[in-house]
Homo-oligomer: A and B are copies of this chain.
Amino acid sequence: MESPLAALLWRSLRVYQVFGANTEVGKTVFTTLLCKSAKRNWQEENVSFLKPVSTGPLNEADDHHIKTFTTGINHHTLIQYGIPVSPHTAALASGEQIPSDNSVLARCREHASERAKAGKGWLFMETAGGVHSPGPSGTTQADMYTPLRAPVVLVGDAKLGGISQTIASFEALRIRGYDVQSIMLFQDSKYQNYLYLADYFSQKYNIPVMSLQEPPERLDNEVRDVEAMQEYYEQRTEENIVKTVLQHLDLNHTKRLARLESMAAKAHETIWYPFTQHEHLPAKDIMTIDSAHGDYFQTYSSKSQEHGALQASFDGSASWWTQGLGHANSQLTMAAAYAAGRYGHVMFAGAIHEPAMTLAENLLQGTGNSRLTRVFYSDNGSTGTEVAVKMGLRAARVRYGWGPNEKLGVIGLKGGYHGDTIGAMDCAEPCIYNENIEWYEGKGYWFDYPTILCKDGKWQISAPEGMEKELGQPQGFASLAQIFDVEGREKKNDQKLYETFIVEKLQALRAQGRKFGALIMEPIVLGAGGMAFVDPLFQRTLVKVIRRSPHLFTDEHGVSPRTEASKEWSGLPVLFDEVFTGLYRLGRFTPSTFLGVEPDVSVNAKLLTGGLVPLSTTMASEDIFNVFRSREKVDALLHGHSYTAHPIGCQVGIESLKAMQRMERRGEWDWAKNQGWVAPRRPESCSPAPPSLASKTTTPPGQGGQVWSVWPLDLVESLSRMKTRVDGVWALGSVLAVHLRDEAGAGYSSNAALGLRAALAQGEAAGSNGPWNVHSRVLGNVIYLMASQTTTREGVEQLSNLLVKSLE
């Protein structure tokens, strides 16, 4: 979805979309009846018929039919093609420019919006052909119209085979989130499909099926034909059947609005929210989400009756960093449903199924990490991290001969965060997230580190305050790519200061008698810790120092570093938490290639399922796996969850990895790379990578290479120059983070970003696409916006403009 578009919901106007189970099932007759009955039974002037796309000669068009058989009905066709074939064929044959899906939807919205202004009433939008008949662009209508989220009247098929057509069409709509509220079809005395369908839909879905006598056969004499049809309409409108349907629709409309209106208050009384101080969350601040599509939620808005009850809200946290392929992506839905239909869930201990096998193979292949050979499944980043830590600690304990009572910690980075279960919490230094939790006990040592920001238009690396002596003075770079050229910087011995700092610290810890069982860190970006953008050279150096220094971790003699070629862990097992940063969030399959080092264990989640269901994988090397092999069951990795490797998650994972890898292969992010990140630009300030590096599409590990974001470099620079409010900015992959100035100090307790968040939530005045705004999350003084992997250039532009405007 390119632009925000508010779905069709007004208090005044009841909008229904009429889909047909087939062509020639009487959609127009039923829509005409609905219009006539609405007019008669509701005594309302505002009854409308809209045909978004129509094909065939004008005098046979549905619009013509409405005109002939009704009076006082507003009727309109948006796009008319003369040839009586499917719209995609007709559009091609017309020789005119083919309208995009978005433009058709925008025109529907505009029309509906006009009708809504005319006061209380009804609008029936009749689709063309069957549910999956292609629209002008070739997208099938069931896919094309989903963002409108108008409830549906489905016209069933009364003929032989019509039961099948009706159910299959219903399902095609339902799995796209449509609410089919009524099914109407003709009575055919021979097949009596309506009897079967009435039973079927009432039992399974509690949806009423209404059947009507068929219209008269078409007569050759046109005048008599019209008369016969008029009589038919008259009789049917007299009957209470269509009126009953309308009453049902009207009731549903009222209920839907009432539910949207009341849900926040109910949630306020019933839901215990994650990571939320309820004292700061009045009911009015709870966002009610009606649905979501692409990058946008449809959220309830009580502000304006005129512009409708829903607004498009950009999902600026990518739904807690999970979204990759857009909300309600129908390919992912189909993948999930296929696995559900083939397996449901099947237990995984000692068993294998196709989705779990294929996802494991694809992940191992995709990372290109020559150490990783094993995949352990669990449910989320937190459990995946606990698994990783259990793996790492055991491996170290066994090799270094530590007893079971030896207290082991991890080495990490300050502000690192790995999840909310106690074991994952214990990997993080004491901070606001955990210090109040009863069983939390931080187990480790957490390093300070230098971070990257674009400040006043220049890329810089800075040490945290007061650490300049240890970690270096702030240093400017010509481009982000130059910072990421870690091998080039090593050639210039840039890492020496880091090495000294790390070694001295490790020696001091050793002198204190502290013991460590693993290094665990988030490569490149520490998300929950405030979107800290870490110098990759520091992380690379940390790994390299640890790997060559077993003597800093053990009293055992003769433990020498393992060679790189052996693929065994060395010094300490290196665990990368790639839950947030992995799988193209930063533009690459794995962020470890930025560092040019391969972890021994890697955790993925979030984007793994493209943003659909929980799933996590912990990949490990064979030598760590082998530590757990013995004759004793008790030596095994005794961890597992009931839904381990659930087929739905695995199948969706396969589909979403495939989709993102295909996008990369096909260069579908080239538009983003070309926004100043890759092509040569001004030589001074935040300039791009040298072309020689930047033009490579596949990047050899550690060589810097392509560093790019969907957020334009221009935007990053401009924002970074707003010095009164902005401290610094960075962007990588689909993430943009703006560190705001806070005189009271940065960090989690800062309120500096709240004003900007409110401005983004205020959004834009309603244009023809209806109101839209941005839902964003802040981390102290940092506000971030996260696009999905399918966000378009247009979407980014709109957001960029709003962001700049809000900060000015």
Contact = CB atoms under 8 A, between A and B. Distances in A.
Nearest to A324: B344
B348 A273 contact: yes
A380 B641 contact: yes
Contacts of A613: 345, 613-614, 643, 646, 648-649
The interface residues of chain A, by DSSP majority, are classed as mixed
B274 A343 contact: no
A211 interface: no
Nearest to A340: B333
Contacts of A257: none
A636 B350 CA distance: 40
A293 to B, nearest CB: 8
A351 B408 CA distance: 39
Interface in A151-206: 160-161, 163-169, 171-172, 174-178, 190-192, 196, 204
B140 A164 contact: yes
A422 interface: yes
Contacts of A373: 269-270
Contact of A638 (B275, B404, B633): B275
Contact of A438 (B88, B290, B393): B393
B140 A286 contact: no
Contact of A634 (B288, B436, B612): B436
Given A133-B161, A291-B343, A375-B270, A276 B191 contact: no
Interface stretch (A354-362, A687-695, A708-716): A354-362
A333 B341 contact: yes
A422 B421 contact: yes
A561 interface: no
Given A266-B361, A274-B644, A380-B641, 12 more contacts: A174-B337, A270-B373, A270-B374, A274-B377, A274-B378, A277-B631, A277-B633, A286-B351, A328-B341, A437-B638, A605-B642, A613-B646
Contacts of A637: 272, 274-276
A439 B393 contact: yes
A86 B191 contact: yes
A219 interface: no
Given A86-B163, A161-B133, A346-B297, A389 B439 contact: yes
A386 B421 contact: yes
B174 A164 contact: no
A400 to B, nearest CB: 12
A344 B292 contact: yes
Interface in A641-684: 641-644, 646, 648-649
Contact of A641 (B133, B420, B426, B639): B420
A70 interface: no
A132 interface: yes
A451 interface: no
Contacts of A612: 340, 344-345, 646, 648
A733 interface: no
B168 A132 contact: yes
A263 to B, nearest CB: 5
A419 to B, nearest CB: 8
Contact of A432 (B386, B421, B633): B633
Given A88-B196, A349-B320, A420-B638, A397 B438 contact: yes
A547 B233 CA distance: 71
A644 B285 CA distance: 19
Contacts of A436: 404, 634-635, 638
Contact of A346 (B315, B333, B633, B634): B315
A408 to B, nearest CB: 6
A491 interface: no
A224 interface: no
A288 B346 CA distance: 11
Contacts of A423: 421-423, 439
20 contacts: A22-B165, A86-B191, A129-B163, A130-B168, A167-B172, A171-B171, A270-B375, A272-B625, A273-B348, A278-B628, A287-B350, A290-B354, A333-B341, A347-B777, A390-B437, A420-B640, A421-B424, A426-B439, A613-B613, A633-B749
Contact of A357 (B131, B267, B285, B357): B267
Interface string A94-126: 000000000000000000000000000000000
A571 interface: no
Contacts of A217: none
A23 B160 contact: yes
